[in-house]
Chains A and B, each alone.
Chain A
Amino acid sequence: MNTPPQRLVHLWDATQCIGCGACVMACTATNAPEMLFREETGWQSLASNIRRIESVNGQGRPELLLVQCQHCQRAPCVKTCPFGATRHDARGLVRLDPALCAGCKYCVTSCPYNVRWMHPDQGLPMKCMGAGCLELIGQGQPPACVQACPAMARDFGDRNDPRSSVSQTLRTRRTRRLLEHLGTEPNYFVVVGS
């Protein structure tokens, strides 16, 4: 009998998030500690793999959105990488092989979520998951943003495991995915209601 492959997904609960920034800082500290006191000049932001975006919904209500790599099943960055440096791993995560990356930035420009940033020293396109979080999940632990959240607004796990907390949430809560019309099939789910 074949074991179904993992499908690791991120889940962000917009109905619980208080926008405290702990996950944003945790990401920097975990994945790019050398950037703690430095600006990410592309976004003019903290060098984090999570972007904090405020907007207004169709009803005029202010909304908060935390955006990061969506680990799309049909990822434009995977398609556009001329060197095969960006690809899926067996768990469904979009990964970068630094050895193959030439720093051409095609992946940065092709990402419709605009979540990659260029490391000023390494010249590599950075994104979720960074090296620190890959270490974490390799040990079966949640990534830093999940650990950091004081409002229980984040989760991460295997969607193919019906017992996982993310599967249970996806079965019971109303969720949406970002820019789904682009056909990217993102693996970042936003909980928007009960």
Chain B
Amino acid sequence: MLIGKPSDIPSSAITSKDRYLNRRRFLRGALSGAAAAGAAAVGAERLAEMFSPRIGALAGTKLETVKSPLTTTGEELTPEEYITHYNNFYEFGVDKDQPAKNAGALPIRPWTIKVEGKVAKPQTFDIDTLLKLRPLEDRVYRHRCVEAWSMVIPWVGYSLSEFIKECQPLASAKYVQFLSYIDKRVEKWTSESNISWPYSEGLRMDEAMHPLALLTFGLYGEVLPNQDGAPVRIVVPWKYGFKSAKSIVAVRFLEKQPSTTWNDQAPNEYGFYSNVNPEVDHPRWSQKTERRVGLPFYSQRRTTLMFNGYGDQVASLYTGMNLKKNF
């Protein structure tokens, strides 16, 4: 079994929130010195922060990472501003800009993941244990939303399979389900949609064990901002974004395919598999093309790739399967 040397984060490597904010202030100062227009924008940003403080946020804390051979090359990274301010996280509001404003309320410490179901023995993992389980890798992935926009995101994490090995699933476990945090006192925006919570997603066991499936703790080398699914989420780069559940609190190993949120909500629109597939249209729009986030309106369109461009690695998982039927 592959057990990497635990990469402990020395406390000296962790930037305190105050120092992190100071660094930001320094950068802002430099900016405002540079341009008057810039200064106006910075002022607005500061005001915005005053009105929506990031409660208990660890976001921005540097993570110690190693390079990964599984990283995607040849793509320009989407600016961090967009990755962190254009989110679908309906527990914090249905508009794309709401999670960045509201997710500060998410209590990311203490945090545990409960492991249940077909396992040798149910256990609970603490987030700080998980952070040290394997070396954290920098992995750039394309991210394709089912709504037909896409980003390129430098995630930080390690293969989900490494965590699953620690869970010791039984041979009878054919599927794995991920449940997201839910507390309607914290996530007051759930009434904006008519969805049954908690958010649930799932993978077939062989999909979950694929090295590209990532247990994710950060992006751009830093701890995940809450709106991006802090403190720990799943990233499955060859599937539509909604398959990558955020802010995970429970992992269940199951014999049968679990019910999953969007598939329950509209089975004709969101399949259980939801592999990125330009040949299978969403009922409301074509999936042949996508809009790359962060580009001007006249140059956003690009062709969508089968399995989001990860076909060489993952197509074999679906040999003999009718992907039009099992979309």
> Do chains A and B interact in one complex?
no
Interface residues of A (CB under 8 A from B): none
